[in-house]
Amino acid sequence: MSVTLADVAARAGVSAATVSRVLNGNYPVAGATRTRVLRAVEELEYVVNGPASALAAATSDLVGVLVNDVADPFFGIMASAVQSEMSPVPGGGGGAGRADGPGKLAVVCNTGGSPERELTYLTLLQRQRAAAVVLTGGTVEDAAHTGALAARLRRLEAAGTRVVLCGRPPMDAGDAGPHPLTVAFDNRGGARRLTDHLLSLGHRSLGYLAGPAARTTTRHRLEGHRAALSAAGLGGDAERLTVHGAYDRASGYDGARELLWREPSLTAILAANDTVALGVCAALRERGLRIPEDISVTGFDDLPFAVDAMPALTTVRLPLHDAGAKAGRLALGREEGPPGGVTTFRGDLMVRDSTGAPR
């Protein structure tokens, strides 16, 4: 059937142990022997049996990346960045045969934002004895789920899997302070800067299209927004001018209509993210409102298409790629987190054409 270590050993005239050692490069093997083995591997087109070696060595080279939605560039970009860190260091140090193997296999798993699927994948990864797991994006704020998740993560770590949180707030769930390996975004600060920008332009009647309630990302952005509003003495109406929806275009479209229905005199609408903002723009255009002359619109994340929207979206740029890469390095243990454990990336305000002074 399939070529095994033993076949290679036979062909090279050595023992299986020697072949294994050549392949893993962690034990001295004489040059001539090594060459012979390598040739046999070549000739037989031998490919290691991953499960077998994972079983014997009690480790695997799988790294799981959990995302809420692979089809969303927000996650796609982070996943891609994580993955870009998985190959063995290019210029490698020692110069030994094959420094670090072909690298880890980063696999991205699509949870669809569902806590159950998240747990399911974590189990699947645990049973694969994954080397590390990166959880990206915000999470549902639900006691039951948070508990189950924390428990599962604890078990994963107990089993030697490195767990890193990326773009998700540290979970100080219960016991020992924040999770040690966390890369977070300053959603609160970004949202606050965005609202402040609108306020400084003279807006006084702002609508907010929030993401799904009970998600950390949603809450943090909303808090930043409300903080800015309160500081300007505009907190009173906040509740009424907030509409929750999903992080997608349709929610933006529907939400904008709802907001305008509640308050026709709105001069600005802040969307939960860029995708939502696109929906908002569509609804506004349909209603014959000009952006930003009649009404300003903002996004969040600064996904690649934000600059191409019409008009180009004022938004908050999140360093998605950098965060993902950092998470990847943490996952590989190639880099340590700061003393506190949490690396926070700031979101910078990108002022473009979708915001202007109110009429």
Partner DNA sequence: CTCCGGGTAGAAAGCGCTTACTGCTCCGGA
Partner DNA sequence: TCCGGAGCAGTAAGCGCTTTCTACCCGGAG
**Residues near a copy of itself, by CB under 8 A:** 1-2, 45, 47-52, 54-55, 60-62, 69-73, 76-77, 79-80, 83-84, 102-103, 105-110, 120-121, 123-129, 155, 159, 249, 275, 278-279, 281-282, 304-305, 307-311
Gap between the Cα atoms of 106 and 74, Å rounded: 18
Q: Considering only residues 14-43, where is the footprint of DNA by CB under 7 A?
A: 14-18, 20-21, 23-24, 26-30, 32-33
Contact predicate 147/175, CB 8 Å: no
- Is the CB of 92 or the CB of 101 nearer to DNA? 101
- Is the CB of 58 or the CB of 357 nearer to DNA? 58
Q: CA of 189: how far to CAs of 184, 201, 300, 320, in Å? A: 12, 18, 12, 16
Residues in the interface with DNA (CB under 7 A) total 31
Quote the DSSP letter at residue 108: E
Is 156 one of the binding residues for DNA (CB under 7 A)?
A: no
Closest CA to 328 of 132, 195, 151: 132
Gap between the Cα atoms of 128 and 182, Å rounded: 23
Is 124 one of the binding residues for DNA (CB under 7 A)?
A: no
Contacts of 278 (CB under 8 A, 6+ apart): 249, 252, 299, 305, 309
- Is the CB of 5 or the CB of 149 nearer to DNA? 5
Q: Considering only residues 46-65, where is the footprint of DNA by CB under 7 A?
A: 46, 48-49, 52-53, 55-58
- Is the CB of 129 or the CB of 221 nearer to DNA? 129
DSSP characters for 135-177?
EES--B--HHHHHHHHHHHHHHHHTT-EEEEESS-----SSSS
Q: Rule CB under 7 A: which residues touch DNA?
A: 1-2, 4-6, 13-18, 20-21, 23-24, 26-30, 32-33, 46, 48-49, 52-53, 55-58
